[in-house]
Each structure stands twice: as structure tokens, then as C-alpha cells.
Amino acid sequence: MQNFLIKDGLLQGANFIPSPNFNARPTIQGKPTITGIVIHNISLPPSQFGKTDKTGTHFVKSFFQNQLNPDDHEYFKTIANLQVSAHLFIERNGQVTQFVNFDDRAWHAGQSSYLGRANCNDFTIGIELEGDDFSEFTDVQYDVLAQVITAIHHAYPATHRHLMGHSDIAPNRKTDPGEFFEWGRLRQLVGEFMGDLGK
Ligand SMILES: [Zn+2]
């Protein structure tokens, strides 16, 4: 397995492409608290994977940079003005891009609540998988996701056992990561990787 490390809120080994869509997390006794991880899916245009603009930039990366061109696809006209982001994006081939420092608040969850606490962006890390609600995710996506989550658990121990889907925290609005997402498989891999690192 690839060993990801987190240093100063950045995932070593990932491309870092800063998004303007973030702000400070609320602090408790001067420190941000990070106590969960939210899994999403995204594809642009919907259900098309690996698509890029004329410059070769992945549409999802353009979207999180506020640089999606509404002329490139009809659907983009409806979302080009949204200001959103995630901490991480994992493509179908397992490539990982970070957009927001983990210590900062990315804008991925929207109106949401988890265990009675509202505004999940305040205290979670958001991970987008390239995919949709109607397709299997790739093997390498599960592997990389589990490796990344393992690194997050070590850097932010309070996230341990607080994995959630966007649909869990915003059930009336959101369906991702969808019924094809294999939670059992992810948990098994994370458990294996956590065990490896503990030896
Ligand atoms: Zn989502």
C-alpha cells in the first residue's frame, strides 16, 4: 500500500490545487476540532468520468476553482456560479487532489447534521469520489480512499469511527455516495491499514 502522510494539514503525495472556497473552522479553546469524514460522489457532466476542458483541466477541478465554463455543457450553466469545494477528490484511476487544507473548512456538506450537531462542514473532512449513484466505484478508489482515511485517522484521531455519507447527514437533499458504495469493503480496508500501521 501507498503510505500517505499528513503534514500541516496537507496530504503528502497529493496534488494541492488551492480552492478559494473555504474559510476558518470554528475553534474550541483555540483549536479547530475535526471529528468526522464525509464521503461524496461527483462527476461532471453528470455520470461522465475523466472529462476535461480544452486546456486539459478536469471539469471537477475547474468547478472547485470557480472556473467551470458554462459554455462547455448545458448542465454547467446551472452550477457554474456555485462556490463549493472538498478537501480531497479521488479520480477513477486513484489520483488524489487536495483543494483545501484539512485544518480549514471546506464547503462540501451544505445544510446537514450528524449526531445532533448541525453544519457538518465545521467539523468534518470532505472527500469526493469521482462517480455517480448508478455505477460501481473502482478498486483503486477503494484502496486509495482507505489509505487516505487511515492517514486522516492518525493525524486527526477524533475522526476514528466517524465515517459518514453525504446522504447520512443530509438525507432529504442528498443521495451520494449512493447505493453502489460498499461501506463494508471500505471499513474492512481501513481496519487492515490501521492494523498494519499499529504493528
Ligand atoms: Zn455530496
CATH topology assigned to domain 5-197: Lysozyme-like (3.40.80)
Report whether pLDDT(196) > 90. no
Q: What is the pLDDT of residue 30?
A: 81
SS3 54: coil
Please tell me what DSSP assigns to residue 88.
E
Distance in Å, CA 198 to ligand 1 centroid: 31
**What is the rounded distance in angstroms from the CA atom of residue 148 to the CA atom of residue 2?**
9
pLDDT digits (tens, 9 = 90+) for 108-121: 999 999 999 999 99
* Contacts of 46 by beta carbon, 8 Å cutoff, 6+ apart: 75, 132
Report whether pLDDT(95) > 80. yes
Active site residue 179: no
Q: Domains of the chain: which residue ranges?
A: 5-197
Report whether pLDDT(198) > 60. no
**What is the rounded distance in angstroms from the CA atom of residue 184 to the CA atom of residue 26?**
32
**What is the rounded distance in angstroms from the CA atom of residue 80 to the CA atom of residue 173?**
20
Distance in Å, CA 129 to ligand 1 centroid: 9
Q: Considering the chain, what is the average pLDDT of its residues?
A: 95
pLDDT digits (tens, 9 = 90+) for 19-43: 999 999 998 888 779 999 999 999 9
Distance in Å, CA 128 to ligand 1 centroid: 7
Report whether pLDDT(83) > 60. yes
SS3 104: strand
* Contacts of 128 by beta carbon, 8 Å cutoff, 6+ apart: 40, 41, 42, 60, 86, 88, 89, 90, 108
Residue linked to cell 483545501: 100
Distance in Å, CA 199 to ligand 1 centroid: 35
Q: Which pLDDT band holds residue 128 (cuts at 50, 70, 90)?
A: very high
Report whether pLDDT(167) > 60. yes
Question: Which residue among the candidates 74, 91, 128, 136 is catalytic per the annotation?
Answer: 128
Distance in Å, CA 63 to ligand 1 centroid: 14
Can you tell me the mean pLDDT for 113-138? 97
Can you tell me the mean pLDDT for 162-171? 97
Q: What is the pLDDT of residue 1?
A: 54
